[in-house]
A and B are shown apart, each in its own frame.
Chain A
Amino acid sequence: MELRRLEEVLSERERTEPGITKVIEEKLELLVGPAAGRQAGQNVREERLVYKEEWDALIDAVRGCAEDPDVIREVVRNVMSVHKLKGPLATCPSATVFGRAVVETDLAKTIHGSGRWGTLRWSQRTITYAKTLDNTEDLRMWWADIALGVYVMWATFNTDGRAPFEDLPTTADGIRAALGLSKTHEHEPLLLLEYTLEPGKAIMPRVTEAYAGPTWTHYFRPAGLLERKRGYGRTFPWDELAEQNGAGEPEIVHEPITGRCLTSPIVEKP
């Protein structure tokens, strides 16, 4: 299978399907309206890590759909969700410890949404208890079936083999800014989760993962030449941090995991 850009695939299909490029471009242009849609359209055009078959599926689906931004978004989401996490493997040493920073209330919603408990309150209590476990084996055993993410999980790591958060700022907001996380929870503590993945499970982030879920994040950019050479993506830090760390932190995507993969006790960073 070949990695291609959208325009390359469109140009090939133009020979047998005259006008297809115009149709697709016009549909993508309609995405400008919805939040993060404009960025999405731009990212789709710039992405180089999508296979020809995946572009073909997207083209076929978008071509036939109604000229309604919401419908186009839904169609893009459906195609992306079929092909998510099928991109090139990320380049990280096998023993790499990955890190995910998450707000406690959001993790509770993830646990609740996964059906672990009937209420958000009990999901929250699950976390409250887990935070008291300072023995990793206890935590792994206790959380063996607790989902730590939905759809696609995004994770950072340290390229020098250190712990994933070791070289990051020491405050929750500092980490938030470096990883480009939402400001909705600014000033709230972050839970730092550290875990390993089986070989072959860390994937290069692509538009496919960025637009496979219900929420299209504004803060995603396709891997450039440098990222492709290194074999991992980069986070999109907050503007306030761009001068110091415009390049962002290493970033990969992977299937949602459970607490069975954790390698350290949960750290709560104020």
Chain B
Amino acid sequence: MTPEKPNDSRTFIVQQIESLDSAALANWMRARLHNRDRLVVTRDREPAYYLVANIYGFLERDIQADLSRIALHMLSEIEKRTWDTAPAAALLRLVDPLLMAPHHRQATIDVLQRIVQSRPPKDEIAFAAVQGLVALEHRATPRFWSNLLKRDERYAPTIFEAMARTLFGSLQEWLLRTLPHEEVEKAVVNALPFLVEDHGGDKLMSLLIAIEPHLTDPAKEQIKAFAAREQLTPALPSEDLLRGHLVRLLRCVDTMLWSETSEPNDETAMAFARYALIYRQELRRRRDAQSVVDKSLTSDWEIYVGILEHALARGDAFRTRAQSELLASLLQVRAKNVVDAINNYVQMHRGDTPIRFTVELRQRIVTALLLTREMRDVRNEYIRSNRSLGPGDSVMAILRDLQQ
């Protein structure tokens, strides 16, 4: 019995495929994905669809276009549930390179969305369809991605990539809402090199500073090792960025208050909104006046705390809401991040300036934001410690200390 000879040199395979007419090409593709390919015999032990991706770039344009059309048609068959899981997932993982052409993009996204919506998220076909959406840089909302993650944590790296590539501006918010989450954390760590390449070290460090309190120690160690290996220097947020944090923080609290208010004329919410408006007007006024950086930041923060104190003084309604899980987390975590960022900024830009400013503010935050006594003590201990930070210090060292 003479065994078939493998004919797996790429040139030979390409010639074979290019000799097929459209119908034969579709049959071959279908057979290949179903592991029934009798045309191409290879030594491969890898999944059969790898070969399609491997030769696609070497095919003539007409044949590429034919294969793309065939793939799109097959996606509609998958939508109608006429394909088994393995070949369907294989085809979906061929969206790149087969369906990346701009003229196929929207049609592909449409069918992928329908596949995702019509299947349970743990289904391998749904998972591969989501990967296809990410490959096409589909700009779904953060809520779309979060819902997938809630239903199956296997989506974590895929969703993280989607957010980082298409919604980087919302990534920090999303991470703050999502962490701690073991799989998302792994995705963050694994993606660090790409985030540096795509967004620069400064933006990455700013992101890490913000999410650091929610990371586990092993992840922090990995990030620290990465920062050291890549010689990433501390990158502090700009004054504008910090002020932006404050504005966003206010807006969040404002929104939260309104969203939790059942009465249309709730006094606390209205009062807070009024104070928030005053704050924003004050910011605008001082921006116009081009006031000194550090001083304006300091007073910004004081105004912010003042607003909260005023709102708190309005009575139990706000206090009750502030103690609700979501709002308390918002007030504590977000405020802490902003304070940390301001503190770093002030220290780095003013050298040995005493940081009594921060002590006072933190004490006021403890009162105003209902932080626990333990947290206050830890904070004060950190502030009291006599550390000297210079431009050569790793941001991660600062982060680690802040976290303790």
Contacts and interface: CB of A to CB of B under 8 A. Distances in A.
A138 B93 CA distance: 30
Contacts of B41: 35-36, 218
Q: How large is the interface on B (under 10, 10 to 19, 20 to 34, 35 or more residues)?
A: 35 or more
Contacts of A115: 127, 131, 154-155, 157-158
A154 B45 contact: yes
Contacts of B13: 184
B50 A180 contact: no
Most buried by B among A112, A181, A182, A216: A182
A136 interface: no
A185 B6 contact: no
Interface string A15-32: 000000000000000000
Given A35-B41, A217-B43, A219-B43, A183 B8 contact: yes
Contacts of A162: none
A121 interface: yes
B47 interface: yes
A263 interface: no
Given A39-B4, A141-B222, A186 B10 contact: yes
Contacts of B225: 138, 141
A105 interface: yes
A97 to B, nearest CB: 21
Interface stretch (B31-39, B273-281, B346-354): B31-39
Interface string A114-143: 011111111001100100000000100110
Interface in B1-59: 1, 3-4, 6, 8-10, 13, 34-48, 50-51, 53-55
Contacts of B238: none
B3 A119 contact: no
Contacts of B254: none
Contacts of A122: 161, 191, 194
B96 interface: yes
B186 interface: yes
B93 A113 contact: yes
Contact of B86 (A39, A125, A145, A214): A214
Contacts of A125: 193-194, 197
B367 to A, nearest CB: 42
Given A42-B3, A184-B13, A215-B45, A121 B158 contact: no
A145 B186 CA distance: 8
B194 A184 contact: no
Nearest to B35: A214
B229 interface: yes
Interface string A214-232: 1111110000000000000
A183 B10 contact: yes
A218 B43 contact: yes
A129 B9 CA distance: 29
Interface in A143-181: 145-146, 150, 152, 154, 180-181
A38 interface: yes
Contacts of A145: 186, 190
B134 interface: yes
B46 A109 contact: yes
B162 interface: yes
A105 B57 CA distance: 13
Contacts of B34: 70
Contacts of B48: 214-215
Given A106-B50, A109-B50, A217-B43, A35 B229 contact: no
Nearest to B191: A122
A219 B7 CA distance: 12
B74 interface: no
B47 A138 contact: no
Interface string A48-83: 000000000000000000000010010001000000
Given A70-B36, A154-B45, A184 B51 contact: yes
Given A120-B135, A184-B13, A218-B4, A150 B47 contact: yes
B43 A110 contact: no
A33 interface: yes
B130 interface: yes
Contacts of B194: 122, 125, 129
B169 to A, nearest CB: 18
Interface in B39-84: 39-48, 50-51, 53-55
Contact of A184 (B9, B127, B133, B191): B9
B2 to A, nearest CB: 8
Interface in A224-248: 236
B190 A126 contact: yes
A118 B131 contact: yes
A218 B42 CA distance: 7
Contacts of B222: 141-142
Given A115-B158, A122-B161, A213-B45, A138 B229 contact: yes
A219 B154 CA distance: 35
A120 B161 CA distance: 11
Nearest to B53: A109
Given A184-B44, A186-B9, A120 B96 contact: yes
Contacts of B131: 112, 115, 118-119
Nearest to A216: B35
B10 A184 contact: yes
B54 A105 contact: yes
B1 A38 contact: yes
A35 B40 contact: yes
Nearest to A217: B45
A115 B130 CA distance: 10
16 contacts: A115-B157, A118-B158, A118-B162, A126-B190, A141-B222, A150-B46, A180-B43, A182-B6, A182-B44, A183-B6, A183-B42, A184-B44, A184-B51, A185-B54, A215-B47, A218-B41
A-B residue pairs, 10 tightest by C-beta: A118-B134, A118-B158, A35-B41, A129-B193, A118-B161, A214-B35, A39-B3, A182-B43, A219-B43, A182-B44
